[in-house]
Structure 1
Amino acid sequence: MVDFVGRRQELATLERELRKVAAGVGGERPGRCVMLRGRRRVGKSRLVERFAERSGAPFLFYAATGASPRDDLARLARDAQASTLPLAGLVAAARPESWDAAFDVLAAALPADRASVLVIDEVPYLMDDAGAFEGMLQRAWDRVLETKPVLLVLIGSDLSMMEALNSYGRPFHQRGREMVLGPLNPAEVGRMLGLDPAEAFDAALVTGGLPLICAEWPRGAGLWDFLGEALSDPVSALLVSAERSLAAEFPPQAQARRVLAAIGSGERTFTNIARAAGGIGATPLQRALELLIDKRIVAAELPVSLRPSKDRRYRVSDPYLRFWLHLLGPSMEEIERGRGDLTLARIRENWTSWRGRAIEPLIREALARILPDDRLPAAPAVGGYWTRTNDVEIDIVGADRAPVAKELLFVGSIKWLEQSPFDRHDLAALHRHRAALADGPVPVVAVSRSGVDAPGLDAAYGPGDLLTAWPL
């Protein structure tokens, strides 16, 4: 199934945890817990469903809705009826009215002589500010659930809330193993779609590695063929996934949505974001940014250099959401009235400049993964450098730490154009900017989509080199 390209490691982890449960059958506390988090639509639920189905163990998969406690408990009874637990009828018959009672009847329904799987999806919907659900979960786990041979899998898309669930001072602290499911990486996207390395990076930027969107991309099709087809379908995953995720994260009136739209439009500094968000005040803007950063939707970055800087810049963390906010979201009305062709033409006009900026975080991540090699040392921090006025801007800075480094390990430039290699002019510009950042010689690196035509570089990387950062 296409949904599970590249998910072997995660499936193996869940299978290993279940084997440990099975090995503990008859013991005092054979139960184990896994807390799985990841952004919406990366395939968390399907991954766990696939694992449970192929495990052969009886399982119950429950998905909270967040409607109301009564509705969520009623949903538990319905999901129990559809489960493969031998005594699932106990849950349906009991119709528990609190989570304390629900956990007791769930424990009674779990077999004692063989391993089983209990999944609670969208856990953040059940959590509250007072911590009542977490307290009930902790009591149930310590008192009854852990004494059964069960693998409890807790799934959530709100990354900050899932991290809080296992944090110090919270009721469920250290009771489960944390797992993070990310989107498909560029190598996995390329393999799934049958694309060459350069095209794989394009596809990763547009789809964000989200399996639902990748599944709509015809294998071997080029970027513009895919976009032309997707933009002619107003309910394609490419068009609707972002809005659905944002609607689940923020109410429509939330200021964070306006701020996110401003960042997505290309604004990166505090002042420019405030202006683009309609002249929002400094205090509400700061609160909105903190919320977006807390939810891992926006990243705040400082230049990497030998001196402290306050020139913080913001960017949308998820490549797909960045693409949607800048190039699709503003055109949704146009697309819905059947003029996706106009949107496609606008994307073509803006593609080169948009991609040139959007590819930078992915390239920095790739370099951090592939180093050290025979050309460059390992770099604990790979970032960029800029000044307030942008008169000096360096795409790649490798250092011993960030943002204030003790030692700069290399600097580099990215040129991500189809038919223009990195040349002597690009190298000369890099040397000038390096001189503004470092007093002594620092190795210089080029990353180019179309090759290199400049002697004197210490290292050069193309799409194929970068793709090896994610071994299949």
Structure 2
Amino acid sequence: MGLIVVASCGMTVTANIATIMQSSAEPFSFAAAGEFLNRADDLARLEDWWGGRDRNALALYGRRRVGKSWLFRAFADGKPALVLVAERRAEGAQLSRFAARLEPLLGFRPELPDVPALIASLYALAERERMLVVIDEFPYLLPSRAERRDEVLTAIQAIMEERDGSKLQLVLCGSHIGQMTTLLADSSPLRGRLTPLAIEPLRFADAQTFAGELTARERIERYAVTGGMSLYLDELARGSGSLRARVCARVLDHRGPLFNDPREILEEDLRQPGIYFSLLEELSARARTLGDLAAALGKRTSDLGPYLETLREMQLVERLAPVSAGRETRDHRYRIGDQFLRFWFRFVFDVQEDLRTGLRPADLYDGEIAPLLAEHVAPVFEQLCREWVRQQLGDRASRVGAWWGNALHELRRSGQRQREEIDVVGLRGGAVTVVGECKWTNAALSTKVLSELERFKLPALAQAGVASTADGPAIMLFSRAGFRPALVEHATRRSDLRLVGVDELVSDLLATARPAA
């Protein structure tokens, strides 16, 4: 790789590596390394890539606030590494800034007329010594027009063809998931030159490393507000202090760090954010069908489809179907997948001006949030119950989800019941093997929950064509507030019925936590 000559975008990039006077890169130092938590699996994957024979660049991507920046800095700590952070500014200004960063390493200030020239210089930099380079928010460096972007990526691809002659380990990082996955698509010029690594929100069990000494109920409540996003966990779950105090100081106080965070993120990534905000506000209280959303916003369903697809592409909204549904089903619901975003749009978005002009955070929390907090937590509790079933009963149920559908025909005709829902349904080979109901309420569960499940819901499931196994499904009842004596006594006489309290649920889920990094 003595000479790189790359024709790109009407210009030629030339890097004569033999004449470059390189100095050894200093080991990267991450000042907050001691505060870094979790991500053991992701760090292990990064170390495997660093120590292996994969010469591809790594495409590391995930939503904003998920913890990518801390992750790659923790990975770079102690390695010969350079971190370049792209911003929303003119290409020339950014490249000039990067040239200044490269000057002490190359021994001269490189000319960087465009992004391919930058990539060529990075490969030249590591011609003699192994080096890690991370370009954070890489999509900011790319042109917005598709044709122009493909030209730039094609030029970069030509440079990467010579990657075996360099010891560069290159990481291209991005927060806009759609743009990053486009780089990995079959039609992308970089297809086959990038190794993907998606960074996901933390599972409930792994998120608990942020928490102190909390009860099982408190752990679920905090996770229902923060979700698995590292920044929100750090602000609202780490250390001491009540959830109320944290939310009031960090979310409801107009000077708090999270007061306007969702708005800023969305306005940075979305055009016409008003429609997206309206959709997210409608979804913040509960999952909704496309028809429900169209009626609420006074739009046609065909008009809203592209907006929902964009939110799904950003992994902010999920499209759900009954667990037994086939691929062609149209019985979909949409819900917000990010718990903090759901909390913010439900309780903060519409009252921001009031909070700026004198509404006290404590008054808002006590008057509007506390009475509805259990309702906000309930869907997360249901998700955790389904996770528990996958963990504990995976040998019986290969697919676990929720189910909803029409009530029994005779009950619909008489107007007694129209729709039925079951919080947990586990399937194996298409047959129902596990069912469950989840109640995040102050009242202990009574036998009524079991009676409704067996009298109305399971027959409706069978009516929908979803059969149970010959010996019937195992029944799981989950409760925040425990179980009434009659139900407990009933469970002692039935081998197919199990009662799971919140302490047992959380204890079992925590047993699956991955070792902290």
Task: Measure the CA separation in 2 of the matches of 1:175 and 1:104.
Answer: 15
Task: Sort the Cα spacing of 1:390 and 1:35 in 2 relative to 1 into closer, same or farther, 3 A.
Answer: farther
- For 2:105, what is the secondary structure of its paired residue? coil
Does the CA contact (< 8 Å) of 1:366 and 1:469 recur in 2?
no
Task: Measure the CA separation in 1 of the matches of 2:355 and 2:138.
Answer: 35
Does the CA contact (< 8 Å) of 1:396 and 1:411 recur in 2?
yes
Indicate the residue corresponding to 1:251 in structure 2: 271
Residue type at the aligned position of 1:263:
L
Query: Within the alignment, does 1:467 sit opposite 2:488 as a pair?
Result: no
Indicate the residue corresponding to 1:357 in structure 2: 379
* Post-superposition CA distance 1:428-470 (Å, at most 9, x none): 1222311210254322212222334431453443332233343
Task: Measure the CA separation in 1 of the matches of 2:155 and 2:418.
Answer: 53
Quote the offset at 1:36 in angstroms: 1.0
Task: Measure the CA separation in 1 of the matches of 2:112 and 2:514.
Answer: 47
Q: 1:57-72 counterparts in 2 under 5 A?
A: 57=80, 59-72=81-94
Indicate the residue corresponding to 2:45 in structure 1: 13
Task: Measure the CA separation in 2 of the matches of 1:134 and 1:463.
Answer: 47
Q: Which of 318, 325, 329 does residue 345 from structure 2 map onto?
A: 325
Does the CA contact (< 8 Å) of 2:397 and 2:434 recur in 1?
no
Quote the offset at 1:71 in angstroms: 3.0
Task: Measure the CA separation in 2 of the matches of 1:33 and 1:196.
Answer: 44
Quote the offset at 1:250 in angstroms: 1.0
* Post-superposition CA distance 1:403-433 (Å, at most 9, x none): xx7222211111123x433331111122231
The percent of aligned pairs where both chains have the same amino acid is: 26
* Post-superposition CA distance 1:139-173 (Å, at most 9, x none): 12112x44211211111112222222122232111
Q: 1:149-164 counterparts in 2 under 5 A?
A: 149-164=167-182
Q: Which of 444, 449, 468 does residue 475 from structure 2 map onto?
A: 444
Indicate the residue corresponding to 2:364 in structure 1: 343
Task: Measure the CA separation in 1 of the matches of 2:72 and 2:99.
Answer: 20
* Post-superposition CA distance 1:77-133 (Å, at most 9, x none): 24436xxxx62454xx12311122222222222241x32101111122234422233
Does the CA contact (< 8 Å) of 1:205 and 1:320 recur in 2?
yes
Instruction: Give the TM-score, by structure 2 length.
Output: 0.79
Task: Measure the CA separation in 1 of the matches of 2:261 and 2:78.
Answer: 28
Q: How many residues align?
A: 445
Task: Sort the Cα spacing of 1:237 and 1:434 in 2 relative to 1 into closer, same or farther, 3 A.
Answer: farther
Does the CA contact (< 8 Å) of 1:398 and 1:408 recur in 2?
yes
Task: Measure the CA separation in 2 of the matches of 1:100 and 1:248.
Answer: 26
Indicate the residue corresponding to 2:497 in structure 1: 458
- For 1:120, what is the secondary structure of its paired residue? strand
Indicate the residue corresponding to 1:397 in structure 2: 425
Quote the offset at 1:366 in angstroms: 4.3
Task: Measure the CA separation in 1 of the matches of 2:311 and 2:303.
Answer: 12
Indicate the residue corresponding to 1:100 in structure 2: 116
Indicate the residue corresponding to 2:432 in structure 1: 408
Indicate the residue corresponding to 1:25 in structure 2: none
Q: 1:300-319 counterparts in 2 under 5 A?
A: 300-305=319-324, 309-319=329-339
Quote the offset at 1:355 in angstroms: 1.6
Task: Measure the CA separation in 2 of the matches of 1:289 and 1:246.
Answer: 14
Residue type at the aligned position of 1:442:
P
Larger Rg computed on CA atoms: 2
Task: Sort the Cα spacing of 1:317 and 1:243 in 2 relative to 1 into closer, same or farther, 3 A.
Answer: same
Residue type at the aligned position of 1:115:
R
Residue type at the aligned position of 2:51:
R
Q: 1:122-201 counterparts in 2 under 5 A?
A: 122-127=137-142, 128=144, 129-130=146-147, 131-143=150-162, 145-194=163-212, 195-201=214-220
Give the CA RMSD over aligned residues.
2.7
Task: Measure the CA separation in 1 of the matches of 2:437 and 2:111.
Answer: 62
Indicate the residue corresponding to 2:28 in structure 1: none
Quote the offset at 1:285 in angstroms: 0.9
* Post-superposition CA distance 1:194-213 (Å, at most 9, x none): 13333222111111232222
Indicate the residue corresponding to 2:13 in structure 1: none
Does the CA contact (< 8 Å) of 2:251 and 2:257 recur in 1?
no
Task: Sort the Cα spacing of 1:399 and 1:142 in 2 relative to 1 into closer, same or farther, 3 A.
Answer: same
Task: Sort the Cα spacing of 1:264 and 1:219 in 2 relative to 1 into closer, same or farther, 3 A.
Answer: same
Task: Sort the Cα spacing of 1:382 and 1:232 in 2 relative to 1 into closer, same or farther, 3 A.
Answer: closer
Task: Sort the Cα spacing of 1:153 and 1:19 in 2 relative to 1 into closer, same or farther, 3 A.
Answer: same
Query: Within the alignment, does 1:211 sit opposite 2:209 as a pair?
Result: no
Quote the offset at 1:189 in angstroms: 2.7
Task: Sort the Cα spacing of 1:200 and 1:247 in 2 relative to 1 into closer, same or farther, 3 A.
Answer: same
Does the CA contact (< 8 Å) of 1:63 and 1:120 recur in 2?
yes
Task: Sort the Cα spacing of 1:111 and 1:261 in 2 relative to 1 into closer, same or farther, 3 A.
Answer: same
Unmatched 5+ stretches in structure 1: 22-29
Residue type at the aligned position of 1:73:
L
Task: Measure the CA separation in 1 of the matches of 2:70 and 2:402.
Answer: 34
Does the CA contact (< 8 Å) of 1:65 and 1:125 recur in 2?
yes
Task: Measure the CA separation in 2 of the matches of 1:280 and 1:79.
Answer: 50
Q: Which of 389, 397, 403 does residue 384 from structure 1 map onto?
A: 403
Indicate the residue corresponding to 1:26 in structure 2: none
Quote the offset at 1:384 in angstroms: 3.1
Residue type at the aligned position of 2:356:
E
Unmatched 5+ stretches in structure 2: 1-32, 408-416
Task: Measure the CA separation in 2 of the matches of 1:390 and 1:249.
Answer: 40
Which range moved further: 451-460 or 332-341?
A: 451-460
- For 2:185, what is the secondary structure of its paired residue? coil
Indicate the residue corresponding to 2:247 in structure 1: 227
Task: Measure the CA separation in 2 of the matches of 1:134 and 1:259.
Answer: 34
Indicate the residue corresponding to 2:410 in structure 1: none
Query: Within the alignment, does 1:368 sit opposite 2:396 as a pair?
Result: no
Task: Sort the Cα spacing of 1:458 and 1:8 in 2 relative to 1 into closer, same or farther, 3 A.
Answer: same
Query: Within the alignment, does 1:423 sit opposite 2:441 as a pair?
Result: no
Residue type at the aligned position of 1:103:
I
Does the CA contact (< 8 Å) of 1:231 and 1:344 recur in 2?
no
